[in-house]
Amino acid sequence: MHPADPSLKRDNPSEAVTSVSDQALFELAPVTLSLIDHSALWSTFQAWRAQGVQDIAAHFLSDPQRLRQCWQEVVLIRVNHRALTMYEASSEAEMLARFRETIHPERPADLLHWFVALWNCHTDLQHLSCDTVRYSLKGKRMDVRLHATVLPDSPNPWSRVLISAEDITTKLAIEKENERLACIDHLTNLSNRRDFITKAAVELSRAQRYNAPLTVLMIDLDHFKNVNDCFGHHVGDRVLAAFAEKLRHCVREVDLTGRLGGEEFAVLLPSTSVQEATDVMNRLRDELAQAPIASTEQHSIFLTISVGLAELTPGIASVEAFLSKADSALYAAKRSGRNRLCIG
C-alpha cells in the first residue's frame, strides 16, 4: 500500500485545474466536478495483478480492511461549487479535510462497486460510469452515479481523474416506486396476477429443489356480485379492500398473497402442510363470520368465502398447473354449496 498525504496535493489547487480548462469553466460547470488523485491506488492494483489477483471483488471481500486501505490512497485535489452543495460542505477547505466522510465508516462495502469498476478499466480509465453510495458531510445518504475520466495531461497513471457525480437518490426512489406500483393491485395493495405468478414461480422452484412442503389457496368471495348489484361498486370496492386486509393479517410475512382478478384471491404458503393451510383458512372464515366486512347506513354486510386448496406434488411442473389444481378444488367448494374449503 502507498498511503498518500492529502496535504501534498493542496499546495496550489488552481494550478491543478488550469490544464483541464479555464479555472472559471471548472468552477461554474453545471455539474458536480471533483479532481481526484488515484495514482497510489493504481500502484496498489498493479502490485495485486503481479501477485496474480484476478477476482478483485473476492479479494476485497476476503479482507474488508483492504477497502479502507485503498480509500486512504484516494486523494481529493479540488471540487467545484456544485460539489460543495451536493456534499453539504461549507467550503472547499472543509471538503478537502473531510472528504473521507463521504463514505460511511461502518459501510466500507459501499466502495466495492467503484473499486471493481476501476480495476476492470486497467490503465485505460476513460468514460467510466458507476452507481454507488456516498454520504454528505451532514450524514445524508445519497445514491450517486459517478462518471470518471483520466485527464490527458496526468503526469502519472490515474493521478488526475476528473469525476462528475449525479445524485440519483430521488430518481431511483421513483423508479422503485413505479416498479412496486406495476406489481400491486391498487385497490387491495396485494400482488397483482402477474407479480403473484412471478414470485410463486420462485417459491415453487425452491420447494422442488429442497423437497419442502408448499400449498396454494384459491379464494372466491361468495355472491360478491350481489354486493355490487345491491349497494354499488363503491361499496364492493370497500369489501374487496377490507377482505384483503383481513387476509393479510391471517398469513405470515413470508406468505404470498395476491388478487388474481375480480373477487378471486390466491395465497401461496411456503413450508406449510395441508393441515396448517386449512387451519389458516378456518381462522379467516371464523373471523369473517363474527363481524360484518363492511356497513352502509342501513345494512351490515357479512361475507363468506369458498376456498380451494392444493398441495405441491411431484407431478406439478408449473405455477399454472399448481393454481389449476387449486382452482378445481375451489369449483368443487362452490358446487358443494359455497362457504367451505375443498382440497384438490
- Residues 211, 251, single domain; the answer is yes
Assess contact for 119 and 45: CB atoms under 8 A. yes
- Residues 169, 189, single domain; the answer is no
The count of structural domains within the chain is: 2
- Residues 269, 305, single domain; the answer is yes
For residue 149, the cross-strand partners are 162
pLDDT at position 123 is: 58
- Residues 219, 153, single domain; the answer is no
Q: What average pLDDT does the structure give for the chain?
A: 89
Q: Is the pLDDT of residue 324 over 50?
A: yes
Domain of 276?
184-343
CATH code for position 304:
3.30.70.270
Kindly report, residue by residue over 55-80, the tens digit of the pLDDT: 999 999 999 899 999 999 999 999 99
pLDDT at position 29 is: 78
- Residues 93, 235, single domain; the answer is no
- Residues 244, 312, single domain; the answer is yes
Q: Is the pLDDT of residue 30 over 50?
A: yes
pLDDT at position 22 is: 52
Kindly report, residue by residue over 72-119, the tens digit of the pLDDT: 999 999 999 999 999 999 999 999 999 999 999 888 888 999 999 999
Rounded Cα gap, residues 163 and 286, in angstroms: 62
- Residues 32, 159, single domain; the answer is yes
Which of the two residues, 22 and 59, has the higher pLDDT score? 59
Is 179 within the bounds of a domain?
no
Task: State which of 132, 153, 174 marks the end of a domain.
Answer: 174
Is 234 within the bounds of a domain?
yes
- Residues 277, 162, single domain; the answer is no
- Residues 152, 250, single domain; the answer is no
Q: Which of 19-28, 44-53, 142-151, 160-169 has the lowest mean pLDDT?
A: 19-28
User: Mean pLDDT across the stretch 114-127?
Assistant: 81
Q: Is the pLDDT of residue 155 over 90?
A: no
SS3 string, the chain, reads CCCCCHHHHCCCHHHHHHCCCCHHHHHHCCCEEEEEECHHHHHHHHHHHHCCCCCHHHHHHHCCHHHHHHHHCCEEEEECHHHHHHCCCCCHHHHHHHHHHHCCCCCHHHHHHHHHHHHHHCCCCCCEEEEEEEECCCCCEEEEEEEEEECCCCCCCCCCEEEEEEECHHHHHHHHHHHHHHHECCCCCCECHHHHHHHHHHHHHHHHHHCCCEEEEEEEECCHHHHHHHHCHHHHHHHHHHHHHHHHHHCCCCCEEEEEECCEEEEEEECCCHHHHHHHHHHHHHHHHHCCCEECCCCEECCCEEEEEEECCCCCCCHHHHHHHHHHHHHHHHHCCCCCEEEC
pLDDT at position 38 is: 94
pLDDT band at 20 (very low <50, low <70, confident <90, very high): very low
Is 1 within the bounds of a domain?
no
CA 87 to chain centre: 24
- Residues 246, 164, single domain; the answer is no
Share above pLDDT 90 across residues of the chain, in percent, rounded to a whole number: 78
pLDDT at position 102 is: 95
Kindly report, residue by residue over 129-144, the tens digit of the pLDDT: 899 999 999 999 999 9
Kindly report, residue by residue over 206-264, the tens digit of the pLDDT: 999 999 999 999 999 999 999 999 999 999 999 999 999 999 999 999 999 999 999 99
pLDDT band at 296 (very low <50, low <70, confident <90, very high): confident
- Residues 194, 302, single domain; the answer is yes
